[in-house]
Structure 1
Amino acid sequence: MIEEKKDLILEIQKNFTKLSKGQKLIAQYIIDNYDKAAFMTASKLAKTVNVSESTVVRFANALGFDGYPQLQKGLQNIIKIKLTTVQRVEMSRDYSDEEVILKKMFKSDIDNIRATQENMDYQAFQSVVDKILSAEKIYIIGLRSSTALAQYLGFYLNLVLDNVKVVGYGISDIFEQMLRVSEKDLVIGISFPRYSNRTVEVLKYAEEQKATIVSITDSIMSPIYELSDHCLTAKNNMASFVDSLVAPLSLINALIISVGMREKEEITRYFNKLEGLWDKYHVYDREK
């Protein structure tokens, strides 16, 4: 399907000469204004370009889509990668006040979680849990906005397992931290639009070392999808210049709990010991 290709804009350009006169007007408008077109209805796009709505539908068909909604979805997937932060701010101009923002953000995050649940590959999820438990060492890499997700996953997996390493910027270069990765290890790569090139490079290195790679990303269009042996996707459709990480975090929570329940007896003993240390060294505040 066209919607699975890496660059829909490039696909439109490649097919430009085959299009009718009216379809070329649509194509040129999308190429020049893809950030606006992605959120237009077929009738709105037709009116803007001054063609009929049926011409818009035929344009979508000419690109291999079943209809305009599929083309629109493809455009929305593409702009998550292409939009600059400035363009994202421009998209947020209709957020008139804080109440509107609050309602839109909640609705967007709820929709993302629902879509993630409905499209979850449960067999893949189970396979990832198996790989986490059988790996000799686990490396977790997530940069830019995905750093928070990587740190969160690493923090809780470290409470359950003793072979987890979160890779990130620090005193040592990222590749130095990955130097000993091998075919016995698992590398979990986390990346959401706009995708970090460094994360892609690290996973390519891990692939060369024959490590098992799990990706946590937004779709099969992600550059880390093709590098992974197992992929879990979570929707993060943006409603503003801030990336929505609610659904990815919910997915990561499910992973942590699933791993913990497989090791229930072990972590019960571990947490009993840990609670003693926390009490002794006053790690958490206690009511008197």
Structure 2
Amino acid sequence: MESRNVPKSSVTVRELIRTNYTSLTPSERKFAQALLDNYPSAGLTSITAAARNANVSVPTVARMINKLGFTGYPPFHHALLQELEAKALGPTERRAKWASEAPETHQLNRFTETVMRNLEQTFANIDSAQFDAAVKAMAETSSHLYVVGGRITQSLATYAFTHFQAVREHTTHMTSVSATWPHYVLDMQKGDVLLVFDIRRYDAGLMRLAEQATREGVQVVLITDQWTSPVADWADYTFNCWVEIPSAWDSNVATMLLLEAMIAAIQEENWPRARARYDRLEDLFDRMNLFRRS
């Protein structure tokens, strides 16, 4: 059985809860919160055990699941299992999955359609208040901004640093070598911000880094995929980007668009201070004869 009116891979149970949260009763919200606090494990037991662990009744669980669009507990349980499986998919498995489901159209069209859906789904689930709060934290020049990524997302971290460093002072690009991270944590102070990029398969080192940074009073901003990196357990702000495409790899298009929106917002938050840095940087480029203007 499958959930009704729920796309197979574009919407997670976590997002369904967030979307429908305001329609839930207090007891249903209690179960929803218990599930989110221990996601997705809390929903991978029987309905009786899930209700007992959340201190709610079985009918309460059944009603909440129905409000999310599922016909019963089995399809809800199956959806969580599929999410768990999707988190662990490697390139070969992803390619096989898409090959079995791919329509017989040109690859360019398939890519374009999928990426557009990813963008739509990503920005439909961005909370503007959370975005503004994260931007304000990252724009605060009295604190230090650290940027780090994993094996694949390190390129995003490099791109982010290149722009943030031009917009604001006190910005550090952490290396991808986890053995060096304690050296950065050593200098972190309360009020600093750590921007983390982490998509499946998730980097266990980034989770440990976020944990230690949090213990130092650092605010953590996480940009992850729709399944959510474990770093979210330590993050103050989490942004989910939809990444699946007809390929053995995941897409960073939605992630990059979100990042560029953050860069633009932080630039505006710090203007005209940022403008003065741009002007000085351009002067340095000219004096060092690094780029041709024509």
TM over 0.5: yes
The letter for the 1-side match of 2:70 is G
Alignment equivalent of 2:181, drawn from 170, 174, 183? 174
Is 1:6 aligned to 2:39, yes or no? yes
**Percent of aligned positions with the same letter in both sequences?**
19
* Distance verdict in 2 for CA 1:161–1:98, change over 3 Å: farther
Q: How has the CA–CA distance of structure 1 residues 270 and 98 changed in structure 2, closer, same or farther, with 3 Å as cutoff?
A: farther
Alignment-derived partner of residue 121 in structure 1:
127
Which range moves more in the overlay, 143-152 or 91-100?
A: 91-100
- Give TM-score, length-normalised by structure 2: 0.71
Q: Which residue of 2 aligns with 1:111?
A: 117
Asked if 1:274 is matched to 2:277, the reply is no
Confirm whether residue 143 of structure 1 aligns to residue 169 of structure 2: no
Structure 2: any 5+ residue segments left out of the alignment?
1-31, 50-61
Counterpart position of 1:26: none
Larger Rg: 1
Q: Is the 8 A contact 1:145 1:243 kept in 2?
A: no
Query: C-alpha displacement at 1:274, in angstroms?
Result: 2.1
Letter in 2 for 1:79: E
Q: Does 1:241 align with 2:248?
A: yes
Q: Which amino acid aligns with 1:15?
A: S
After superposition, the C-alpha distances for 1:142-201 in whole angstroms (9 at most, x for unaligned) are 111111111111110000111111112359622222221121311112211111111101
Distance in 2 between residues matched to 1:11 and 1:133, nearest whole Å: 38
C-alpha displacement of 1:102: 1.8
Q: Which residue of 2 aligns with 1:130?
A: 136
**Alignment correspondent of 1:67:** 70
Deviates more, 1:233-242 or 1:254-263: 233-242
> Is 1:195 matched with 2:194?
no
The number of residues matched between the two structures is 244
In the superposition, the TM-score normalised over structure 1's length comes to: 0.73
Amino acid at match of 2:108: L
RMSD: 3.2
- Show the counterpart of 1:15: 46
Using a 3 Å threshold, how does the CA distance of structure 1 residues 218 and 172 change in structure 2: closer, same or farther? Answer: closer
Q: Where in structure 1 are there 5+ consecutive unaligned residues?
A: 19-60
Instruction: Return the alpha-carbon distance in structure 2 between the equivalents of residues 265 and 172 of structure 1.
Output: 38
